Amino acid sequence: MALASELALDSEALGQALDTHEYLDRVVADEQEAVKLDIRGVPAFVANRRLSLSGVQTIENLTSLVERVRLSA
């Protein structure tokens, strides 16, 4: 909570969300999608919710990712 306060966030609302698991379903859904996309690290780049690259990437790899999605559409 101290970090939330330092960042001028509503630490009370954050505490309540954590205590009540307000976003648990969304977090679990995001985790399941990451597994489906084989995301294993950060940063992760996702193209059209179908293909992904994990970790630091070169511009060539990112361009290739976009091209692969574009060609498969």
Contact 48, 73 (CB under 8 A): yes
Tens-place pLDDT, residues 12-53:
999 999 999 999 999 999 999 999 999 988 999 999 988 999
Quote the pTM value: 0.69
What is the 8-class DSSP label of residue 1?
-
Q: Can you tell me the distance from the alpha carbon of 26 to that of 8, in angstroms, rounded to the nearest whole number?
A: 24
41: helix, strand or coil: coil
pLDDT digits (tens, 9 = 90+) for 2-14: 888 899 999 999 9
